[in-house]
Structure 1
Amino acid sequence: MTDTTDDNTTALRQAMTSNMVKAGMITSERVEAAFLTVARHRFAPEATPENAYEVESAVPTKKDQHGITVSSVSAPRIQAMMLEQADLKPGQNVAEVGSGGFNAALMAELVGDSGVVTTIDIDADVTVRARKLLDENGYGRVKVHTVDAEGGIPGTGALDRLIVTAGAWDIPPAWTAQLSDGGRLVVPLRMRGLSRSVAFDRDGDRLVSQSAQMCGFVTMQGAGAHQERLLLLRGKEIALRFDEGWPEDPDALNGVFDTERAEGWSGVTVAMSEPFTGLQMWLATTLDGFCLMSVDGDLDTGLVAPQNKSACLSLLYGSSLAYMTIRRDGDRAEFGAHGYGPDAEKVAQALVEEIRVWDRDHRRSEPVIYAYPATTPEAELPAGRVITKRHRRVVISWPPEDQANQSTTDTKEK
């Protein structure tokens, strides 16, 4: 439904959409038209219109007792990205996991009056809010259900598209079962701590990625919830984050940062504005001891200098570890590693070497991501890093020139 009541909000909506088109966030005329049509501020009354139309800003709609956001209207950039990945068509039967109202309205514009849109959420407060806003803004045809997504989407039949707007660690069998063969699932999937919005097409009982984009979402609640584990060092100043697995002897890292630091530099550089998401995925794929390191901003003594203090790519090797760092030279930055522990130099050089491999063999490529049923034997999986979850065996597989690398396997802790 077009908003014609307020020239200011219409201008804000047009400017937001134009900016996303210019930045390449919106690439199709149909997604552009949907964003020009749906009045986002009406689905985000918690924010000012100016904030509602900021391209990079999500609007929190509910927080828990600790003040942590548990539901939000995602940033326009993220919604545009996922809708482009989903490639919705007129007349399709589509569904959304995680309700906010605005995204469902965009989906309704894309599938048209002949299509069907269903949105679900585990939280009744969220679905009541979504139902109210959808009805008030002319999208009463969108179906809204309060249900845990782990068991699927009720009353829909075979789905052409399923978009998940909550961070998922696994892919429940019900989601694949409800997709038509060739149907598409777009899901923010966490793999070894890294989240990517993956557009999967169904191919029988497996899913095959068509694209994967960096993203961030509030985490899934209910039966599909999965918490990462933290290994705290130097009190609580530094934490190693593990999504799957856990060090065999976590106590071996006690005092690791009291040792002398070793440095290694790769010679690999990027422009300061250049993304390097492929490097992140490569290191998560190839390093057996891969984890993420975070530094508490309130407790930071400046001892470590990670490339990203919230989630730095790191390598654990027995009682030693290394993390990725950078040094700047003008408008470019060189990747390197800082190592600590008895094998500080060795572990730092191991991390540096894989950065060089990425630069040499994979800088211009992205992996294909597969999701197979968890019961699939190893011999039936493609080459790549295998991450075994409760429902799925996810395989991160790089282009043919690197398939000489022997497949390795992670196993979820029981």
Structure 2
Amino acid sequence: MRRIVLIVLDSVGMGELPDAAIYGDVGSDTLGNISTAMGGLRLPNLERLGLGNIDNIRGFNKYKSPDGCYGRMAEQSLGKDTTTGHWEIAGLILDKAFPVYPSGFPREIIEEFESRIGIKTIGNFAASGTQIIDMLGKEHVETGYPIVYTSADSVFQIAAHEDIVPVEKLYEMCSIARTLLTGDHAVGRVIARPFTGVQGSFKRTDRRRDFSLKPLRKTVLDYAKESGFMVKAVGKIEDIYGGQGITHAVHTHDNMDGINRTLQYMSESFEGIIFTNLVDFDMVYGHRNDAAGYAKALIAFDDMVPEIIGKLKDEDILIITADHGCDPTTQGTDHTREYVPLLIYGKGVKSNINLGTRNTFSDIAATVSEYLGLNAQVPGISFLSDIRHE
């Protein structure tokens, strides 16, 4: 009964890519810089799997003979956003980055959106999610006008107070925006950002929802589903792929909920893929430049690694990786163009194998395809023969 348990630690990068300067990300190193900022960061369970043995990683203990296989991956796609990274993990490499709007969206887009939803909007500039509701939350509550904003990523975000705009109405607005933002303006994601509270203490809720483009081509998830395998998504995975290639899905409140939902799926008997995104690293800590909070979240995940490993069935392969960086120690609040770690473990997996630097995240898709016998037409080089016992 073959399964892949694929866990994406959202934004947990490990050092700038060679083209980081193009993205303004020279010096970015999410894991290394957090470790430095904290005067050292111990993640003993991940280190035992080989985290500190990865080429060029900084700030972590190196084991003489780690229990897992380890390496790092470079992103071949253009961009550094969630959708781009996840699509590449599943075997879809983008040769054209999603559009971004550092100066806000064109007036014709905003006017058409307002016409379709029947109400004016406020905002329309790049800002962090907490910053924008502090700046415009009071005006939104007084007028009822939804807040539209973006970031350095390819996103059209709509923030609204749950007492002013019911969440289902906010989701409806996002669906309208999604149908509008096509062609040259096909942003990677439209995101609903509900919040509550009063001026001075507004707080975003966990009822965020992402409205992503559907993948432009088939991914390894589609091949798995078409071949009769289960593809069980945890967190925002279903949203990232627009539901495509997914057989079951659960949305989560936070990282710990995501881990617990993953453990529940692992307890079930089926063949296929469990695909989890743990978003708090990025959403709660990275974008808010909270290095201390980020470190605590990493420690909390590390503490759960033994339980995750304990749930692995005989033929399960656990893969832990990330989709981009979001270095909380840098001046900006946006994603960073970085390598991502690759850790692999299983009862049938070799120990202490250095997989080096992989040229694309899609090596994971190629490996999943080979392990499940999918013959998926995806780019990348499978590392299955390197990690499995004969």
TM-score, structure 2 normalization: 0.28
Q: By percentage of residues, which structure has more helix?
A: 2
Structure with greater proportional strand content: 1
Taking structure 1 as the reference length, the TM-score comes to 0.27
In our comparison, the structure showing a higher alpha carbon Rg is 1
Of structures 1 and 2, the one with the larger relative CO (CA 8 A, separation 6+) is: 2
